[in-house]
Structure 1
Amino acid sequence: MDESGEYHKLQFQELENIRNESYENAAIFKERTKAWHDKMLARETFIVGQKVFLYISRLRLFTGKLRSRWVGPFIATQVFQHGVVEIRSPSTEKIFKVNGHRLKPYYEGFQKEAVEGIDLIPFMKIDLLILMSSHDIK
């Protein structure tokens, strides 16, 4: 083999090494990115008796943009391994199993309690008197 053939062979081997290194680096990057995303993923745990919303993912044409795809609340009746949750509809009493990723907790509003009212008018008069006396306004 002549000198130019050897040179091209070395270039080809170098190019092959660079391609293999880039392939390995891409695999390492993919593993690290997946680990980071999995770490950031919030795993929701549900308990029996908890109220939850169900995400409806059916493809519909011409749906309203602002219409909520979350329906409910439903009541969790049983929690299985690997994120499967059995829910019951309070209105129809139907029971079915869904993936836990399609559920989110239903938070009921704050309980209303009797709150005392505070009359602010006397405090405003006192503040006004203090302001007038500090600036000698008559």
Structure 2
Amino acid sequence: MVYGNIVMMLIDFEHKTIRKNLQLNMNLFELQRAQIMQLNALDEIRKLSLQHTEVVLNKRIRWHDKYIKERKFKSGDWALLYDSRYKDTMGKLQTHWLGPYEIVEVFQNGAVQLATIDPIKFKLLVNGHGLGLYHKPVTKEDFLQQFYIQPPPTVPAASVEGLPIPKS
């Protein structure tokens, strides 16, 4: 910079500005018209890039949504809670699930209120995406009743005494 001279920015040399073109004695009307055409072309490029961004975003949303499993929980079910502290560790014998917990209430926004299955109930509110359905352990009698299988008849001990003993 020199005192008394007009300051010329580096952008003036890189892009032809009105001031630079006036110094070169070019037609002002043509310069303004050329700049308006460049601005219009820039707007067109911007619109095309926005449309392309929207198309890519919709593709990404569809790709992501096809891998989401819809989980239906209802109160009274048991669930396991995913512990995200261990998501980066690779351990064969290390569990990543906490619980089981009993589902108390399911909210419309996907949140789920859980309670411990201990005698002293401790309630907590979690995101439903971090839950997995836990199937309650079934006793043998409940399993047989579920499939309508009759248990085998028991033979009284007195009738067994009269049977001949097989010889080997």
- With normalisation by structure 2, the TM-score equals 0.50
Q: What is the one-letter code of the residue matched to 1:102?
A: G
1:65 is the counterpart of 2:90: yes
Match for residue 68 of structure 2? 41
1:101 to 108, 129, 132: 129
Q: Aligned partners of 1:27, 1:14: CA distance in 2, in Å?
A: 20
Q: Aligned partners of 1:104, 1:111: CA distance in 2, in Å?
A: 22
Match for residue 127 of structure 1? none
Match for residue 28 of structure 1? 55
1:85 to 112, 121, 134: 112
Structure 1 unaligned spans of 5+ = 115-138
In structure 1, the residue corresponding to 2:124 is in which secondary structure?
strand
In structure 2, the residue corresponding to 1:96 is in which secondary structure?
strand
Q: Aligned partners of 2:107, 2:40: CA distance in 1, in Å?
A: 54
Number of aligned residues: 111
Q: What is the one-letter code of the residue matched to 2:75?
A: V
Q: Aligned partners of 1:31, 1:11: CA distance in 2, in Å?
A: 30
Relative contact order, higher structure (CA 8 A, sep 6+):
1
Distance change (3 Å), C-alpha of 1:24 and 1:94: same
Displacement after TM superposition at 1:104 (Å): 0.9
Structure 2 unaligned spans of 5+ = 1-26, 145-168
Match for residue 149 of structure 2? none
Q: Aligned partners of 1:86, 1:12: CA distance in 2, in Å?
A: 56
Q: Aligned partners of 1:48, 1:111: CA distance in 2, in Å?
A: 22
Match for residue 53 of structure 1? 80
Percent identical pairs in the alignment equals 27
- With normalisation by structure 1, the TM-score equals 0.58
Q: Aligned partners of 1:98, 1:83: CA distance in 2, in Å?
A: 9
Q: Aligned partners of 1:52, 1:87: CA distance in 2, in Å?
A: 8
In structure 1, the residue corresponding to 2:135 is in which secondary structure?
coil
Q: Deviations over 1:10-40 (max 9, x none)?
A: 4564354223212221123213421442354
The RMSD of aligned alpha carbons is 3.5
Q: Aligned partners of 1:58, 1:64: CA distance in 2, in Å?
A: 9
